[in-house]
Structure 1
């Protein structure tokens, strides 16, 4: 009682059933009715709310919005978070494997370079000459492929704006064209 003797109290008249509800609620929230009432007042003040405001939490529209947000979050988790996690797991596994491989290679003799291959000047010159001819043939192949593309490119006037170029090639032809270019590019990279 000493604690409360320093405060001045005031009586408030409320209906009996409301007072009983408040007492039950107050027991679950804090030690005294004053602290409970103060917490409630602070809540409304800090959140800039009025007790008569309809927050719409029980409205069907709000439930639909909440369900839509839940669906969006689940979709993000399914489409982005989980695949990203799987990629990171794979990456870390590869890093671990490469570190283990490095440890194995560290145990080998670091100065074993194998037997060097002797190359004469003529052999080296022949190698570069052959490579030059291969690159010229590949360039010629690229030019031929580009000629095929240019011949199938058609200028189309725009109805409401600028004109544009349209590639008159069906999907299978385009896929074949891409494969041919990729094979040539891949073949060049493996040779280098």
Structure 2
């Protein structure tokens, strides 16, 4: 980004000495030029719509509450889907699979005769 501003002229700003020391330390820490550091700071505040005078505490807390509400809503939707779609479908499938099969009757039944009774047909011994 420094390349974009190479041909621009410099302007001077008057700031307190203590602020100057703090700002220079911060610029060294992030390894940026003074112009770029100040540009990035202003861009950050404009992009996120926050003021340097405000504390991030309420904003972060508000964001956390919003996320928790969204998670709760997603959980409620999933529970509703389970209750109204998944569980009834599983119940229907289990009912179909667990139905008793009708008892199969043998097609040909051999009648048992008391011993000594003769059959009605003629038996051949070979």
TM-score range, shorter chain: 0.3 to 0.5
Q: TM-score, normalised by structure 1?
A: 0.29
Higher relative contact order (CA 8 A, sep 6+): 2
TM-score (norm 2): 0.42
Higher relative helix content: 1
Q: Name which one, 1 or 2, has greater alpha-carbon Rg.
A: 2
